[in-house]
Amino acid sequence: MTATADEDRYREKMAHRKAIQDEEVASKTEERGLFAVHTGTGKGKSTAAFGLALRMLGRGKRIVVVQFIKGAWDTGERHALERFGDMVEWHALGEGFTWETQDRTRDIASCERAWAVAELALKREDVALVILDELNIALRYDYIAPERVLASIAARPKMQHVWVTGRNAKQAVIEAADLVTEMTLVKHHFKAGVKAQEGVEF
């Protein structure tokens, strides 16, 4: 086969693929806020959600971040996003990992405070994205009832997007979501003795 014939076949193949793709894209006409979940054992669940926050801010849209378990760490993403001024509200209302507090009553109270802030954000027409960071952990340990969470998410403004992160997402949350991504752990530097580092983990 000549180089010209090979190029012609490639162009024909890509033209066919483009036609299918264009038809698929054209068939999607609904526009509304999405409810998404990042879960799984792999690294990057919150990081991916903050990447979406950056995209929203780049489009001039207001965001609210509510952190349920985290809160003790001084994170680089918080410093970066807060440079956008009043376009960002960041509420780090957790007290650290559950094994650090070792106090269920205290953990429940902390999550209740965070959920009160989250509920207000979920009612705001001016907020394009609400990130409920590590909410899956709070739900896993029954610090908050899933029914309460899902009812408030379902009742949010039509165009508001909600991103929930954390391991072990409950099945009810997965079923209610529009988009679910599971981060799978293949290899992690922590297992090789590399400690959490500024700019990578926080």
Question: Whole-structure pTM over 0.85, yes or no?
Answer: yes
Percent of the chain with pLDDT over 90: 66
User: What are the pLDDT digits (tens) for 153-198?
Assistant: 999 999 999 999 999 999 999 999 999 999 999 998 988 898 888 8
Nearest to 200 by CA among 78, 47, 91, 61: 47
What rounded mean pLDDT belongs to the chain? 91
Percent of the chain with pLDDT over 70: 94
Residue 52 in tokens = 């979406």
User: What are the pLDDT digits (tens) for 48-62?
Assistant: 999 999 999 999 999
Q: What are the extents of the domains in the chain?
A: 1-30, 33-192
Specify whether domain 33-192 bears CATH 1.20.144.10. no
